[in-house]
Structure 1
């Protein structure tokens, strides 16, 4: 992904050229293909180019045309459609960069232009006539946008470290975000970051900033997506396949080798296979990565998600299947160097290996099936709950009766499962007389009393239960769950010259997922995710299409074992690590060290293990503040 940033002194003071150049240097730490700075009075725009699409080699950003100056990180997918509507340079389409399409759209539609754009984009246009900045972030939030705003300054970009290099921006931490991280071992937020002074531009929004005014507008509303109705189920399947192919094809626009995740599951597998077949027409290979370590020990079996990945690669002629084993030392190295404040909380240590390997192969695009489970490949488990709370008991009983025919369990056990399906988690916890809950102190292990008080307020507001597929899908969009991984991987990818693309989060597929009848997500004749499986049934072996179990628990056991091995290496360091006042403000260092001394490395509590690592990651990151 390309890097961009800007400074707007709203008080009219000229931009300090040294500050602007320092920010450009910070952003360019990964040695971009081209870097450039534009400064005029109180405004500066910077860009660090990652060449990727074939047309990008004709771009030089920031781009100035007439009274408009643009900087961006963007890929526009509806170029042919836009070309019929907007003014473009008089040269072949394959020599026109996406920046020209964005400026052309702005010149024609003004601040309404994001409504006409399809793709992944964050961009800023300085309008010299209006003396204002126009900032945009795409529909899903694939491209990041961070900013600092006060009465006199507006500083922005898609890299947090770059913003922090501006002397006006304080390093003061957002205590609410730190508290949430300590509890949830991640941060799912759509606006806030770890810094009080830095916020995110929400997905599907624009922000217009002038010397005396700031206006935020949403150009797309997930709550207003129209319902889709076809006469037959086959019509839904056909349309989904059409959208799937379009979403993948437009993300293959690159001059460099392509990589893809390949887990063996229903999200990444058809994506990898379809991509491989498209690349085969160009005599190109697809580099496919699976997160599961190669089974070596005699007590490790071939996990389905690992063996399916190998089988798929073996069936396709041009998939190079990359296998790896992450040892405890590799994990420790990442724990010591990963800064959660500037590189995100969805670190996924296996993805570091993927990025390192892809970078060494000259890859610049990684395709991921992330977002599928949450939206288009949703397993439909909340459909029954939705019907129940709408009062449609007849349909609930009908679906339960049909489902029982495909379950090889007793009626008594089935009814218990049915009860779990229709009652919210908090009610089930009461029925089980469960002592622990998502807001219990165990989940705040090693958080200080100060953070615990913050969490008491946060958890009162936190929404845990969702009834119905549609509400669940919207929740994943609104609560930052989908964004956390996208933003984290984006920040991590800078140093490896990589760009992530997510076909299953294509706006058209998202609108389809939220528009079709909810019942299409409910298991059909014992088959989960039947809509997507039928749409891609020619891409995968029937063995994989009809596989309904999961080896996630056993896979997680393997991960846990490697976490324990890594923690053994770190034990002495954590015991000796100093605890500054700031660390002690957030972390109960004494409790952490005491628990580590008596930690049972053979029969350990997974929650305690996770919390020790979470506290350690926070301690290391605090050293950078």
Structure 2
């Protein structure tokens, strides 16, 4: 995706061209195809261009409308482009030279701020109204874009890249210690507008923001939670309806300036994306390039009976059935898990939950770029959308008891309907905070200083308490109105020169799958879960993939990889111990985990390698860099 940036003076002073140029230079990776700036008085806007569609070549932003005076910038790939072209009265022959950002501009001129409810895809834009001295920004419903901002009484600055804002040095930046702690203990409340840099905010998905000299008004324009349940006459009708909407979502993401690749696992989500994409490309005599992470060693000793570590055989089955998928195994020998963490910190500027996956993710992106791919498809949001398992409690009582057994059913029902206050009291009595800290790398003194355990007990977004309904469980994964999965993928894509696209995050796919009654996702006769996607992919995916009920672990060889780079691990632990990180992390405990990783081939060693060692290392390196540079 392209990137956008800008500065608006709120105190009436002129914006410095040096500041705007600084942002342009920092965002050079967002604009491999050029970058333009518009600057006038107290306002400056810019677009860093990446030609990710054929029409993008004809786009020239920022655009100053001579009639209204509005100044418009955008980064956009629109899913319902044909519908929007028709709404604007643009003929197909003329549409060949109209980029998606320009189409979005025309939508804004026609419908104003209401246009954001009509536009689907990956997009964000900013428009300046000179007469009102108002800046309006908006982000897509759930797409793969990023938008950060800084605001005080003097100035408002925004950018697709957080680095561009940090480079301005507009104010001393503090670290959000609670954010750091929440990442370490896997408490997803850090999703939303907060970043680990206190003074910088994210504009969350499905939000818009109006900025004037006097005020900032943020508004959520669409709520995933308001999706209405869909009732169709027969169970089979949901399959045909899903196929139609999913095919359209994949098709919309195949419009590309270059080759198209897919990050392919052995599972249902990326497998379904790959199968449908290959089918659509086959009709045009085109091929799909697929990349699958492959472990260095045998991984069964690190996994339970319901997981597997080598997904390449299943990916091969998917590729064979499609006939036009060129599959490449990604062994990721060139980068160690520690190097991958350092690289990802440079891209994202904050610690992350899944630090143990970065080595294979980075290798896939680098290979995709080397192979000439401009687009990399994935199925990251599939678990809560197209391949939702279904909730056992949506089935009949007989089914529930057969699934759990009477004793466990009674226990699950008690947890499900017990008052929150009773569950909180039980946790306080039987699970002291110390037990939680032992499952993470957090320093106990740091946790106690934040009163973290009490904050977790009081939070409805904590993982400590079961969710009552199937939708509650899905909201915890999707984090509607708060998720930053889109920002994460936009930043990663810019760093590697590719456009990351996810059909399972298509707003039409999400809306449809969330509207399907939960009972449909489980077949009561066969007891098979994820029934909707399994049936929809009949004939598209081989049965060994379509009916597989085990879960793949693409970082399953993390333990042997860490042993290979043992000197790096020792060095980074010393680095944490000698720096500011020692006040936030329990480095002695991390060393104990490291000893386990070196000496044990067990599921516990694998789990702790990711959740304690890798996540702790990433957090610690961030802390050291933050204070050393501050």
TM-score class, shorter: 0.7 to 0.9
Aligned twin of 2:542: 541
Structure-2 change in CA distance of 1:420 and 1:429 (3 Å): farther
Aligned twin of 1:195: 197
Aligned-partner Cα distance in 1 for 2:544–2:131: 62
Pick aligned residue for 2:459 from 462, 477, 481: 462
Q: Note if 1:227 corresponds to 2:229.
A: yes
Pick aligned residue for 1:365 from 366, 375, 389: 375
Cα distance, 1:75 vs structure 2: 0.9
Aligned-partner Cα distance in 2 for 1:119–1:594: 45
Alignment of 1:130-279 (within 5 A): 130-184=132-186, 188-279=190-281
Aligned-partner Cα distance in 1 for 2:11–2:302: 64
Residue pair 2:195, 2:202 contacting (<8 A) in 1 also: yes
Gaps of 5+ in 1: 388-394, 405-412
Aligned-partner Cα distance in 1 for 2:576–2:302: 36
CA offsets per residue over residues 496-551 of structure 1, 9 Å max, x none? Answer: 11111111111111111221212112343122111112122120122322222345
Residue pair 1:33, 1:51 contacting (<8 A) in 2 also: yes
Aligned-partner Cα distance in 2 for 1:206–1:492: 23
SS at match of 1:248: helix
Aligned-partner Cα distance in 2 for 1:399–1:166: 60
Aligned-partner Cα distance in 2 for 1:321–1:35: 35
CA offsets per residue over residues 9-38 of structure 1, 9 Å max, x none? Answer: 111111111111011000014661111111
Residue pair 2:351, 2:622 contacting (<8 A) in 1 also: no
Structure-2 change in CA distance of 1:383 and 1:596 (3 Å): closer
SS at match of 2:208: strand
Aligned-partner Cα distance in 2 for 1:457–1:361: 50
Alignment of 1:520-535 (within 5 A): 520-524=520-524, 525-535=526-536
SS at match of 2:504: helix
Residue pair 1:429, 1:437 contacting (<8 A) in 2 also: no
Residue pair 1:74, 1:122 contacting (<8 A) in 2 also: yes
Cα distance, 1:293 vs structure 2: 2.2
Aligned twin of 1:410: none
Q: Note if 1:620 corresponds to 2:621.
A: yes
Cα distance, 1:124 vs structure 2: 0.7
Cα distance, 1:490 vs structure 2: 2.2
Aligned-partner Cα distance in 2 for 1:265–1:549: 9
CA offsets per residue over residues 142-190 of structure 1, 9 Å max, x none? Answer: 3111111112211111111111111214331111111112222987511
Structure-2 change in CA distance of 1:523 and 1:80 (3 Å): same
Pick aligned residue for 1:453 from 433, 440, 449: 449
Residue pair 1:190, 1:479 contacting (<8 A) in 2 also: no
Aligned twin of 1:334: 340
Pick aligned residue for 2:286 from 281, 284, 307: 284
Structure-2 change in CA distance of 1:616 and 1:474 (3 Å): closer
CA RMSD of aligned residues (A): 3.2
Residue pair 2:392, 2:400 contacting (<8 A) in 1 also: no
Q: Note if 1:440 corresponds to 2:436.
A: yes
Residue pair 1:146, 1:198 contacting (<8 A) in 2 also: yes
Name the count of aligned residue pairs.
600
Structure-2 change in CA distance of 1:606 and 1:208 (3 Å): same
Aligned-partner Cα distance in 2 for 1:457–1:54: 53
Q: Note if 1:566 corresponds to 2:568.
A: no
Pick aligned residue for 1:583 from 581, 584, 593: 581
Cα distance, 1:231 vs structure 2: 1.1
Deviates more, 1:255-264 or 1:335-344: 335-344
Deviates more, 1:414-423 or 1:237-246: 414-423
Structure-2 change in CA distance of 1:329 and 1:368 (3 Å): closer
Residue pair 2:287, 2:324 contacting (<8 A) in 1 also: yes
CA offsets per residue over residues 33-75 of structure 1, 9 Å max, x none? Answer: 1111111111111111111111001112222223222222211
Cα distance, 1:92 vs structure 2: 1.3
Structure-2 change in CA distance of 1:18 and 1:97 (3 Å): same
Structure-2 change in CA distance of 1:263 and 1:427 (3 Å): farther
Residue pair 1:185, 1:614 contacting (<8 A) in 2 also: no
Aligned twin of 2:127: 125
Aligned-partner Cα distance in 2 for 1:359–1:201: 29
Aligned-partner Cα distance in 2 for 1:435–1:562: 34
Residue pair 1:367, 1:501 contacting (<8 A) in 2 also: yes
Structure-2 change in CA distance of 1:185 and 1:337 (3 Å): farther
Cα distance, 1:285 vs structure 2: 1.9
Aligned-partner Cα distance in 1 for 2:594–2:379: 41
Gaps of 5+ in 2: 417-421
Cα distance, 1:223 vs structure 2: 2.3
Structure-2 change in CA distance of 1:26 and 1:313 (3 Å): same
Structure-2 change in CA distance of 1:396 and 1:316 (3 Å): closer
Structure-2 change in CA distance of 1:122 and 1:331 (3 Å): same
Cα distance, 1:363 vs structure 2: 0.9
Cα distance, 1:217 vs structure 2: 1.8
SS at match of 2:599: coil
Structure-2 change in CA distance of 1:429 and 1:513 (3 Å): farther
Cα distance, 1:247 vs structure 2: 0.5
Structure-2 change in CA distance of 1:124 and 1:617 (3 Å): same
Aligned-partner Cα distance in 2 for 1:77–1:597: 46
Residue pair 1:420, 1:428 contacting (<8 A) in 2 also: no
Aligned-partner Cα distance in 2 for 1:520–1:13: 59
With normalisation by structure 1, the TM-score equals 0.88
Aligned-partner Cα distance in 1 for 2:292–2:411: 33
Aligned twin of 2:419: none
Aligned twin of 2:508: 508
SS at match of 2:268: coil
Alignment of 1:7-156 (within 5 A): 7-29=7-29, 32-66=32-66, 67-86=69-88, 92-156=94-158
Residue pair 2:30, 2:49 contacting (<8 A) in 1 also: no
SS at match of 2:327: strand
Cα distance, 1:456 vs structure 2: 2.4
SS at match of 1:449: helix
Q: Note if 1:318 corresponds to 2:318.
A: no
Aligned-partner Cα distance in 1 for 2:277–2:454: 47
Aligned-partner Cα distance in 1 for 2:474–2:435: 23
